[in-house]
Structure 1
Amino acid sequence: MEFTAGGQLEIRITPADVGKRVSVRRLNDAEAPIAKFTDTVGVLASWTDGVLLITRRTGESVHIPETSLVAGKVVPAAPARRRGVPAADFPELARVTARAWQPVESERLGDWELRAAAGFTRRANSVLPLGDPGLPLDGALARVRDWYAARGLPAYAQTATGAAGTQEELCTELEARGWRREVSAQLQVGGLAAVGDLDADVSRVVLSRSADEAWLRRYQRFTVPGPHVLRVLGSGPSVWFASIPGSEGAPAAIGRCVVDGRWAGFMAVEVDPVNRRQGLASSVMAALARRALDEGASAAWLQVESENDGARALYAGMGFSVHHHYHHYRAQ
């Protein structure tokens, strides 16, 4: 709670604070016999025609008429980080995660990167808009649409919210131009040693530098297998695949890790439904973490969909916490 009933309420924000993280309190119903207030914290993405648009950490947009404001102030750009969680800014993590999941084809548009991989995953088939595209926004977005249309692909933009330097204002501009958010997820970070120290059985985990046919049978995130899938999965500075043997030719559990300097990124951790709740995911991650520690990494990251409660609980128990949220917007 940013405001207390006993404190003096003041509106200490103006349109000049667009782009800053703010906390505001608004009156829900001025005619109600008992005043009811709502507090909102997020980035002030715009203040136009008497309406504030605040983007919350999760990417949710909140429209607030300025006439309903009773208090408002600028607050620190990001909350204090938890002990044991590695410090990192958004640009560093954006580039590390991009190197861990590289497209088959890419092209620069100023500081933006156009990425394509025959439609295999949104991450590898979306523009990564970091920095200045070298064109006015409308012109840049037109180039993005044309580039993907030439490849028979929908135009996606990958953006982020919820940390210092993320892209709340860009999200607002995309939505104003008809782009629609299709999926959101969390980028979580944690200490790598805590994952390597998990009390997990790693004796059955097999590590490899490549994904074999059995591994791919468990990883079912594609419709048509092809060289583009292996190109993306095999991309990154130092890539490791893990599997635990199962029955009928498919592993009981799999995982992927990319080591990049101090970072180890965990992806594609999947467990056969009949073998869940047996600690197999922890075993896969522990084995991969120990290999990454041997290569000199010390920090870990992973991506998890916001609605995946089971996975989020698992990762919280390993010491991971949310750094920011990322989103994929599709041109309409």
Structure 2
Amino acid sequence: MTLSHTMTAIEISQPGGPEVLRPVTVPVPVPGHGQIVIRVAWAGVNRPDALQRAGMYAPPPSASPLPGLEASGTVVALGPNVSRWQIGDKVTALLPGGGYAEYVATHESHALPVPDGMGLREAACLPETCFTVWSNVVMRGRLSAGERFLVHGGSSGIGTTAIQIARNLGARVFTTAGSDEKVAACKALGAQAAYNYKTEDWAAAIRAEGSANLILDMVGGAYLPKNVRTLADDGRLVQIAFLQGPKVELNFAEMMMRRLTLTGSTLRPQSDAAKANIAREVEANVWPMIAAGRFAPVMDSEFALADAAKAHARMESSGHTGKIVLKVE
């Protein structure tokens, strides 16, 4: 297959709001050692994309400066020493960047087969959230059956994924959301209870249930001390973002006295080997959930690639439930 030398992509013209996203013509990426090039059909839209656009989340030095951390499509080029994939394979992949484009390169071990019976639109929504949730909830947070699990932002892409995966693992799932409609959506996904954080005292409600063994949080700020107080003895708090800021006064004596674990991670800066390990775990554990009909991405809306700014505005309005995607192909 002969590839075009140039492609349409969305660049961040300068740090700022959604309006700084604009279409450009750039060279098609060339696959490096162990890399594949994917002709993108759909690209997922995620909070880290908005942080990068705002100038608050710089890509790793070796990554594309274009936004986009997940995409689905067709393999169209192979770099040296690629062994798993062949030209024409349908894949969904975690990306170091560059997903808002007609073509993107990524390490072959970060791509997974599109699940049987799933379209490319839905498959594009899997990598960023599944890798993040599995690595933080299971690999780092050690969630086990019967435990009480609290995830904040239950109607987000991360939240809807975490609810379903934790439910499949046999945990008792609790969550917070910003409207009664979103609360209902979280319960429909399998949350035992969901709380409107604008009108309900979620911390008191969770403590009344016996407190949380594990909390997955992306809010930070004032939620940090509340989360600590809401943990059961030997509980774990896993932090994956700070929508309300990373700095807060915290009494660490409580962590010592009650044997709490405070940890967290970001996905993008991790090594190729670390991401490959997460990919293997996701394929071995989450893909069977999909095959059995016990997990599926929750879809909110789709936008044309040229309308990436509108997709970001939708995400930052917090009016969405589930995933937002860009139609590329």
TM-score, length-normalised on structure 2?
Answer: 0.25
Question: Which is higher, the Rg of structure 1 or of structure 2?
Answer: 1
TM-score, length-normalised on structure 1?
Answer: 0.25
Higher percent of residues as strand: 1
Higher percent of residues as helix: 2
